[in-house]
Amino acid sequence: MKPQWLKVPLPGGKRWQSMSALVSRRGLHTVCDEARCPNKAECWGCGTATFMVLGDICTRGCSFCAVSTAKAGTVPNPQEPEELAAAVMELGLGYAVITSVDRDDLADRGAGHFAACVKAIKKRSRDVSVEVLIPDYRGHELDMILESKPDVIAHNVETVRSLQGIRDQRASFDLSLLTLKEIKAKSSIISKSSLMLGLGETEEELFSAMDELRDVGCDILVMGQYLRPGSRQLPVVEYIEPARFERYAIAAKVKGFLSVVSSPLARTSYHAKEGWVAASGHTA
């Protein structure tokens, strides 16, 4: 049974209904739905969402994730960048978060389409800040993302080194570090990563992961409780109390992260704008 601090209200209200209708009308997907995010009620109630591009089928199969998987995804919708930009404008967002499924079946792994989505939003309004949560792009793939000029680039290591086996075998802590390192080597764009807790990691391993992320210049760290999205995914090893998340946040700030979001319900895109404001020095 989940502890009291993890219980959240069901989505409801006119704002939620209008968000649901907008996503459907524009033919878009959100990670809120596909990954069964516990923060959907709060975020959609405020009119914010994390859009998921490149379809809703992932070519990787991580054992903690509820997104559907297959060897190949659907053909990318060429209208998606414009539909996404229109949705951002319709919502009146000042900060947009975009993520995607992994598309190893595509020649550029979807990087060009992802970048087109960022450009479409920026073309509509230069006042909208854009955060992207990308797959483990490197080289030319990452160059396309950098050229689209997002304000924050996130890529998740997901968990500590000893537990990387929960990720698809094509992913690893070291490969993720390479992506984060290349972001900083090629740009001054703020970088970000996330760790799921409660999978059996030790504090020593967690602090070591923080150090390695700082060594590659990661600016923002998010830590949240792993919650089992369904019976097919990994079970939770431990529910971590809010006080420990607060202690971990203090430790991460001492290690030099510009911004830390650490709480049981924290996810990469949760309070993303606040994290960017703290790291960049911009006003909200």
Measured distance CA(91)–CA(93) in Å, rounded: 5
Question: Lowest mean pLDDT: which of 30-39, 67-76, 230-239?
Answer: 30-39
CA 42, chain centre distance (Å)? 17
Please determine, for residue 44, whether its predicted confidence score (pLDDT) is greater than 50: no
Q: Is 21 helix (H, G, I), strand (E, B) or coil?
A: helix
Q: Where are the domains of the chain?
A: 10-280
Q: Identify the pLDDT of residue 25.
A: 77
Query: What are the pLDDT digits (tens) for 73-101?
Result: 999 999 999 999 998 888 877 888 899 99
Among 210, 185, 215, smallest CA distance to 260 is for 210
29 versus 217: which is more confidently predicted? 217
Percent of the chain with pLDDT over 90: 65
Q: Identify the pLDDT of residue 89.
A: 87
Q: Is 194 helix (H, G, I), strand (E, B) or coil?
A: strand
- Angle value at C-alpha 120, between 87 and 85, nearest 5 degrees: 0
Query: What are the pLDDT digits (tens) for 173-221?
Result: 999 999 999 999 999 999 999 999 999 999 999 999 999 999 999 999 9
| Residue 171: C-alpha distances to residues 60, 197, 217, 226, 261 (Å) | 9, 18, 20, 18, 24
Enter the pTM of the model. 0.89
Confidence band of 17 (pLDDT split at 50, 70, 90)? low
Give 113-136 as a DSSP string.
HHHHHHHHHHHH-TT-EEEEE--S
Average pLDDT, rounded, for the chain: 87
Among the CATH numbers 3.20.20.70, 2.30.40.10, 3.40.1710.10, 3.60.15.10, which is that of 10-280?
3.20.20.70
Measured distance CA(271)–CA(70) in Å, rounded: 31
Q: What is the mean pLDDT of residues 2-22?
A: 63
